[in-house]
Amino acid sequence: MPVLIAFPILILLLIVQTAILSNTPLLQGTTDIVLLAVIAWAIQKKVDTAWVWGIIGGLLVGYVSAVPLPVYLAAYLGAVGIALLLRQRVWNVPFLGMLIATFTGTILLQGSTVIALRIADTPLAMNDTLNLIILPGLVLNLILALPFFLIFGDLAKWLYPETLEM
């Protein structure tokens, strides 16, 4: 069930991302709600399908985007790895873990994209890239981290109910 439900949720988020959020940038930067969903899912304790969500999210976004697919796949899996690491380290303050994972995951994704485009000989003005895309995108992701953390926290409680120990 936690794996099957990943498909409709991530596809719906991808549709919202491409149809609405990519049309409403802050400067030139946009949020990445699929990445946020994957991180918010991975940071929830008891969740054991985080890697699968990372793979599904990376494949979906990589398929739609013109950025090479391995970039998204690797960055999403990297973000999941960071989230799982932080879940063990800051387990008593999970939202702090969500913020840190969002920050590092976003930087990881955007850094990977820049490197991949530079390798493909795409000219990118680093100053503009940093000021107009990376930083605004980071701010948007951090702003949306809280609602995603809460929504996916409820989803995790629904899919992994607490069991009473007698």
Partner 1 sequence: MRTSSARTWQTAVLAFIIIGFIALALGGYLAPVTRVLMTPVINAQTWLSTRYILVQNYFNAPQDLGRLRQRNQELEAENARLESQIIELEQQLSETRILSALVDFARVHPQNRYVAASVIGRDPSPFVKYVIINRGSDDSLRRGMPVVTSQGLVGRIAAVTAGAGRVELIINPASSINVRLEPSGTQAVLLGSVTGELTLDMIPQSASVQVGDLVLTSGLGGNYPGNILIGQITSIRRLETDLFQTASVQPVVDFSRLEILLVITNFQPVDIAPLVPTPAAP
Provide the binding-site residues for partner 1, judged by CB under 8 A.
14-15, 17-19, 22-23, 25, 28-30, 32, 34, 61, 64-67, 110, 113-114, 117, 120-125, 128-129, 132-133, 137
**With respect to partner 1, which residue has the nearer C-beta, 14 or 42?**
14
Separation of alpha carbons 100 and 94, rounded Å: 10
**With respect to partner 1, which residue has the nearer C-beta, 64 or 146?**
64
Q: 140 near 26, Cβ under 8 Å?
A: yes
CB of 158 to partner 1, least distance (A): 27
CB of 64 to partner 1, least distance (A): 6
Separation of alpha carbons 96 and 20, rounded Å: 28
**What is the DSSP track for 82-94?**
HHHHHHHHSTTSH
